[in-house]
Amino acid sequence: MRKRSDVVRMLEERVLLLDGAYGTEFMKRGYEEVPELLNLKAPNVVYEVHRSYVESGADIILTNTFGATPMKLKKHGLDVDLERIVRSAVQIARKAADDRLVFGDLGPTGELPYPLGTATFDDYYENFKETARIMVEEGVDGIILETFSDLLELKAAVLAVRDVSKDVFLVAQMTFDEKGRSLTGTDPLTFAVTFEDLDVDALGINCSLGPDEMVPIFQELSQHTEKFLVVEPNAGRPIVVDGKTVYPLTPEVFSVHIDTFYESGVNVFGGCCGTTPEHIRLFRKVMGERRPLKRKRRKLFAVTSPSKIVRFDHFVVIGERINPSGRKKLWEKMLEKDEKVIVEEGKQQVERGAEVLDVNFGIESMVDTGYVKRVVQSLPYVVGVPLSLDVQDLRLAEEALRVYPGRPLFNSSKVEEKELEQKVGLLKRYGGVLVVLLMGKDVPKTFEERKEYLERALNILKTLGFEDRVIFDPGVLPLGADGRPLEVLKTVRHISERGFLTTLGLSNLSFGLPNRTYLNSAFLVLALNEGLSSAIANPLDEILMNTLRSALVLLGRGELPRVEVKGDEIVEVIVSGNEEKLKKIVEDFLKEKDPLSVVEEVLRPAMERVGKMYDEGKIFLPQLILAAQTVKPIFDRLSDLLPKSETGEAFVIATVKGDVHDIGKNIVASVIRSNGYRVVDLGKDVDTSVIVETVEKEKPIALGLSAMMTTTVVRIREVVDELRRRNLTVPVIVGGASLNEKLAKELGADFYAKNASEAVRILKELKGGK
């Protein structure tokens, strides 16, 4: 058995090649029974298939144990043979492998988790632990968990393997459909964020799709994890030929995709269903000897459920109502182990704007642990959103975190070394984000006291290597008990300025007082103004929620719930490229307004809304281009109707000397034109003198320069110097693939625009400043 660190070292050196399919190879040889049984009945056949992959150039071969777990074998009445099957499988693979790596292969049980099915976390855990134990005893070099379609089952398998051995290399893989979702709704981003916390070495995707369809899903995964990456596409989608299932991709067609996966950061490449030794032979040749490419993870702060990821890049409402404190009926239902009432409470809150649900079980010693586990496992599947596990008892918290299907919030830990250590320990093992309550044995009253707690917390968290997985709660105390809300607000500001996220248990403030809604709402607004990032609050409180929405608008935090563009007819017409209909709309406006008003009050604002939709990712670049293209002839027509003095400010644009890349420049010109500016497009590879002379003549609102290559960006400096030499003070906006904000400034430009809509925004600001 190779150590985990040995396999890691190999993967740091080069991209490894995994083997192909086994089932189809057994069938080719006339064996159609349960594949795992062949480890006992026909070990020579299993050996032969392994050898074919070794001889084709595979670096890693998988044991013939995909279905060799108690739950799966039981379906065939073979569970009694588990031990013999698994031991034999590893021994055969080892004998065939020469010096190649042997990974123990484990597939899912085929049972859905409760409440979608009946399987509990513990069922899964015990199932995988048994097989993993035998594999490790037999000396596998790694274990690969593949083709999982549910987050919880995969998490249970990971924890089971890790409880068997901390020193075995571990790969966790999911399978996704063409829409990038697993059977129980997980997407690759949620998969990456959830498993980044867990002690696995590599994440991957296999089965269900051919290489072409798998590329974007793999790329999404690769951008959000620092773990090694494995991919095993099928040899295309299966088709039926003469009554037999055939995977259509030839080795030649399949191998065309290797470069794309390589460029996306793959560390282990292989094939799933339909992949044959002939495929692997060609993969070996095409793959050659490549060092892995370095990737950079896009960091994001988020919590997850199986089907939803909630990022804290906007204000997040954490629903507070699953809490029996002061709610006798709910408490009684909890004692009766009623799950329906929890689901109803959850659904109502989500419908009213909660993105995360806080779950508190009241007096924890009185609540059945099995009930807590069932609620924590099932609620995210039924209601969809992630949970904030508001559990204080450490033992119960561990049970809850263990069975939670995703990356939860864990609410909370006080700033006491031992408590923080224990709770961080749980989150390192089971995954999740910690709410740190800024109090210890004493409850702080003042900002200074809270600040001290923050420093203490940060010191401890730094030692634990956990400071990037926390949200701080300054601790709101009831007004009636000397709550001092202004001290809390100061603390929120201080934490936000330090770059950390914050939350508050909002309703504590008004505990025991009349007019709670108004007090809570007013305090929330004040806290928002100090930078509050989330609140544990009551989303059923309409006044509170409407106040929150309004305050977010007023503060310009842009975190209003997404509003669809339904009803914005002109934008719909523009984005869909319907020029005829746009003409008709404009003609109708012209009956009531003069041409200048139609430009300034109708078309230009409409294009601004289109630009905003593009910035927010609601429409894509081709739609922005089509919109600009559609509006341009209408603007041209309206310009003809205007006196020359009113035809809009000029904007001069050019690609600098030596650069012949003008697609980006063309798009920027087009979008700017469609926003009502008179664009003077000088084209590409333009001499500095021509650019400067045109600026002198046209007196534009700004000059746009495009340069794509590192060798041509220096021409920007030449243009700027020449402009300044002639005392031309026109603002210079630059853009292009090799540029960035810093370089633009170094070259003397006034603005850097990363895309067309940003250029429009800059022009609008310049216009406003005139």
Q: Which amino acid is at 501?
A: L
Number of other CB atoms surrounding residue 462 within 10 Å = 10
- Member of 382, 464, 709, 728 binding another protein (CB under 8 A): 709
Interacting span for another protein (CB under 8 A) from 120-128, 400-408, 597-605, 619-627: 619-627
Strands (E), 327-418: 356-360, 387-390, 409-414
- Member of 320, 355, 659, 758 binding another protein (CB under 8 A): 659
Between the two ends of the chain, the Cα-to-Cα distance in Å is 73
- Residue where the block lists tokens 């191998």: 255
User: What is the smallest separation between the CB atom of 57 and another protein, expressed in angstroms?
Assistant: 7
Contacts with another protein by CB under 8 A: the residue count is 52
Question: For residue 149, what is the DSSP state?
Answer: -
User: What is the smallest separation between the CB atom of 711 and another protein, expressed in angstroms?
Assistant: 4
336 lines the binding site for another protein (CB under 8 A):
no
The phi, psi pair for 322, rounded to 5°, reads: -85, 75
690 lines the binding site for another protein (CB under 8 A):
no
Question: For residue 112, what is the DSSP state?
Answer: P
**How far are the Cα atoms of 239, 392, 570, 571 from residue 567, in angstroms, in the given order?**
45, 48, 9, 9
257 lines the binding site for another protein (CB under 8 A):
yes
632 lines the binding site for another protein (CB under 8 A):
yes
CB 68 within 8 A of CB 26: no
- The C-alpha atoms of residue 501 and residue 133 are separated, in whole angstroms, by 41
Q: Which is nearer to another protein, 56 or 547 (CB)?
A: 56
- Member of 5, 459, 550, 711 binding another protein (CB under 8 A): 711
Which of the residues 167 through 206 are near another protein (CB under 8 A)?
178-180
- Member of 42, 215, 479, 596 binding another protein (CB under 8 A): 215
Residue 124's contacts (CB-CB under 8 Å, 6 or more residues apart) are 109, 113, 152, 153, 156, 157, 160
Interacting span for another protein (CB under 8 A) from 369-377, 557-565, 614-622, 759-767: 614-622
Question: For residue 503, what is the DSSP state?
Answer: -
User: What is the smallest separation between the CB atom of 168 and another protein, expressed in angstroms?
Assistant: 26
Q: Which segments of 409-568 does DSSP mark as H helices, in order?
A: 417-430, 447-464, 485-497, 516-529, 542-554
- Member of 348, 392, 639, 666 binding another protein (CB under 8 A): 666
Interacting span for another protein (CB under 8 A) from 225-233, 456-464, 586-594, 664-672: 664-672
- The C-alpha atoms of residue 509 and residue 338 are separated, in whole angstroms, by 30
Q: Which is nearer to another protein, 50 or 414 (CB)?
A: 50
391 lines the binding site for another protein (CB under 8 A):
no
250 lines the binding site for another protein (CB under 8 A):
no
- The C-alpha atoms of residue 454 and residue 460 are separated, in whole angstroms, by 10
378 lines the binding site for another protein (CB under 8 A):
no
Q: Which is nearer to another protein, 342 or 631 (CB)?
A: 631
- Member of 657, 672, 705, 720 binding another protein (CB under 8 A): 657
- Member of 36, 153, 213, 345 binding another protein (CB under 8 A): 213
CB 401 within 8 A of CB 427: yes
**How far are the Cα atoms of 376, 517, 547 from residue 534, in angstroms, in the given order?**
22, 17, 15
286 lines the binding site for another protein (CB under 8 A):
yes
Q: Which is nearer to another protein, 199 or 568 (CB)?
A: 568
What is the token pair recorded at 548?
Answer: 């929150």
Q: Which is nearer to another protein, 40 or 565 (CB)?
A: 565
Number of other CB atoms surrounding residue 363 within 10 Å = 11
Q: Which amino acid is at 504?
A: L
CB 55 within 8 A of CB 96: no
Q: Which is nearer to another protein, 181 or 516 (CB)?
A: 181
712 lines the binding site for another protein (CB under 8 A):
yes
- Residue where the block lists tokens 């034999």: 88
**H/E segment holding residue 289:** none
x-marked contacts with another protein along 41-80 as a string, rule CB under 8 A: ----------------x-----------------------
Residues that bind another protein (CB under 8 A): 57, 178-180, 211-213, 215-216, 252-253, 255-257, 259-260, 262, 282, 285-286, 288-291, 576-577, 617, 620-623, 625-626, 628-629, 632-633, 657-663, 666-667, 670, 685, 709-712
